[in-house]
Amino acid sequence: MKNLFVGNLSFQTTESDLTALFKGVGQVTKVRVATDRETGRARGFAFVEMPNDEEAAKAIAGLDGKAFGGRNLKVNEARPRTERAPAHNSSGGGRRPGGFSNEDYREAARKPREPRW
């Protein structure tokens, strides 16, 4: 199986539209149009799975740059999904990476401070 990235899609493009388009150049295993989790609207890109490298190469050669839905498609091999870094803990604290922990605040509160006059 070979996964292709299809970008610069019209927001009205459906999985059926892409299936029909890609079937013109080879066999299609699966199509998934990316949508916004909250609104359900298309995000302008999709992934198309082809059964092998040959079919995928034909699809890239035949469809990359082709006008579809009023836009020029970007079709290339999809990159493998990378692991996301954990969300940054931004609890304030200026430039300190990761912000201040509760213990940091307690320690700062224990230190005597000069009065600000």
Q: Establish if 69 belongs to a structural domain.
A: yes
> How many structural domains does the chain have?
1
Q: Establish if 96 belongs to a structural domain.
A: no
pLDDT digits (tens, 9 = 90+) for 27-68: 999 999 999 999 999 999 999 999 999 999 999 999 999 999
Q: Establish if 65 belongs to a structural domain.
A: yes
Q: With a cut of 70, say whether residue 74 has pLDDT above it.
A: yes
Residues in the chain: 117
Q: CATH code at 13? A: 3.30.70.330
Residue 6 belongs to what domain range?
A: 2-77
Q: Establish if 44 belongs to a structural domain.
A: yes
Residue type for 77, please?
E
Instruction: Characterize the bridge pairing of strands 2-7 and 42-50.
Output: antiparallel
- The whole-angstrom separation of Cα 98 and Cα 25 is 50
Task: Give the three-state DSSP class for 71.
Answer: strand
Burial class (CB in 10 A: 0-12, 13-18, 19+), 18: buried
> What is the value of pTM for the model shown?
0.69
